[in-house]
Amino acid sequence: MIKPHGSDTLNPLYVADDAKRAALEAEAANLKSIVVCSQAAANAVMMGSGYFNPLTGFMNLADSMSVAEKMVTTDGLFWPVPIVNVVEDASGIEPGMRIALKDPNVDGNPVLAIQTVEAVETATDEQMAFMTDKVYRTDDMNHPGVKAFNTVGKTFISGPIQVLNYSYFANEFPETFRTAMEIRELIAKNGWNKVVAFQTRNPMHRAHEELVRMAMDRENADGAVIHMLLGKLKPGDIPADVRDAAIRKMAELYFPPNSVEITGYGYDMLYAGPREGVLHAVFRQNMGATHLIVGRDHAGVGDYYGGFDAQAIFHDEVPDGALEIGIFEADHTAYSRELGEVIMMREAPEGHKKESFVFLSGTKVREMLSNGEDLPPEFARPEVAKILMGFYQSQK
């Protein structure tokens, strides 16, 4: 199986030993505590789950600046985005202390992790602007990732962590949330060698479904892991439980048995386009995938990024050998009435009419579903559309 990123074995930060975890929970009750921001909580879950191997905790300011500038930490580890615990007020927190990190996303703010503080550093406005520009390629506060990064404070608390639970993900999505370790076990159990990973924060329409098939066929893959984001999204995105139900129905009816695993991970969307595409590759390698599908506007939002910037970054900025996972570069995919099948548009035969493709904007899809109108079968499987229609009509 493909090696994890940065080490020979996966080193998750979740404390799996029940006795050790109970002792840490008891210790946490007497520690200074802070309620972290949602992104820091998600970072902790990803480190606990093994997805952010080989990180041992939150980055300091020097590493964050280095990663933002050139996608490498000060000690040479390739990494595409800063993984940080940033707060507004770190009063009373000093290097050498152990502090309890409380979960902002669970009622009662239970302790999510314990951090051993190595440094407490406040970034300048110029440093925050530099990191924002490098990671998000924009300083527009209307960008949801830019806004999230720049509204939680400027003080970086760095140091290793011990993770005590997986926040709300394991409880709210027990059939879907899987750690990187668990997915590696699934892959081994299935006897798969080549594995395609498909990233999604949306339900899968016909084009997505066929894209997974194309990637599996062309990479001669044994199976695919459909890996959905379960964390915080922007307003208007479809909730994770609805996406989960729709994707499971599609896989159940339209893929061969034992060819697809439906899983999810606990993270908040950054909408960082190219940089987030690289992060997606890092943690898919950690979960055991040999290939990641990177499509049009991968991890993007609005018109902040070019349609294929998230593919170009792997050629232009990711050093050779930095990652072992392969990238399957996908074009816009749509159903062609002329050919009677879903194809990638760049592969349309000469003379193919653009108007033959079935396109629906997200706005049009939401409007049709809200009105109880059936989506064209060329665009969405009827069983999937039914689940989505139920959600949109419940929102009236």
For residue 256, the model assigns a pLDDT of 94
For residue 237, the model assigns a pLDDT of 75
**Active-site position among 109, 190, 193, 202:** 202
Phi, psi of 226 (to 5 degrees): -85, 115
Tell me: the pLDDT tens digits for 97-141? 999 999 999 999 999 999 999 999 999 999 999 999 999 999 999
- Alpha-helical runs (H) found in the chain: 18-28, 38-48, 61-70, 125-136, 144-150, 169-172, 180-190, 206-218, 240-254, 274-286, 309-316, 362-370, 382-394
Tell me: the pLDDT tens digits for 327-384? 999 998 999 999 999 999 999 999 999 889 998 777 788 788 888 888 999 999 999 9
Q: Indicate if the pLDDT at residue 180 is higher than 80.
A: yes
Look up 206 and say whether it is catalytic.
no
Tell me: the pLDDT tens digits for 104-116? 999 999 999 999 9
**Active-site position among 98, 201, 248, 366:** 201
Q: Indicate if the pLDDT at residue 26 is higher than 80.
A: yes
- 175-333 belongs to CATH 3.30.70.1710: no
Across the chain, which distance is largest between two alpha carbons, in Å? 71
Tell me: the pLDDT tens digits for 10-20? 999 999 999 99
For residue 45, the model assigns a pLDDT of 98
Taking the C-alpha atoms of residue 370 and residue 392, their distance in angstroms, rounded to an integer, is 5
Fold of 18-170: Sulfate adenylyltransferase (3.10.400)
Taking the C-alpha atoms of residue 124 and residue 332, their distance in angstroms, rounded to an integer, is 41
For residue 195, the model assigns a pLDDT of 98
Secondary structure (3-state) at 162:
strand
Q: Is 371 exposed, middle or buried (CB count within 10 Å of its CB: 0-12, 13-18, 19+)?
A: exposed
Stated pTM of the model: 0.94
Tell me: the pLDDT tens digits for 235-269? 777 888 898 999 999 999 999 999 999 999 999 99
Tell me: the pLDDT tens digits for 43-71? 999 999 999 999 999 999 999 999 999 99
Taking the C-alpha atoms of residue 390 and residue 393, their distance in angstroms, rounded to an integer, is 5
Give DSSP secondary structure letters for 53-87: TT--EE--HHHHHHHHHHSB-TTS-B-SS----EE
Instruction: Provide the residue ranges of all domains of the chain, joining segments of one domain with +.
Output: 18-170, 175-333
Look up 137 and say whether it is catalytic.
no
- Give 181's contacts (C-beta < 8 A, 6+ positions apart): 10, 12, 49, 50
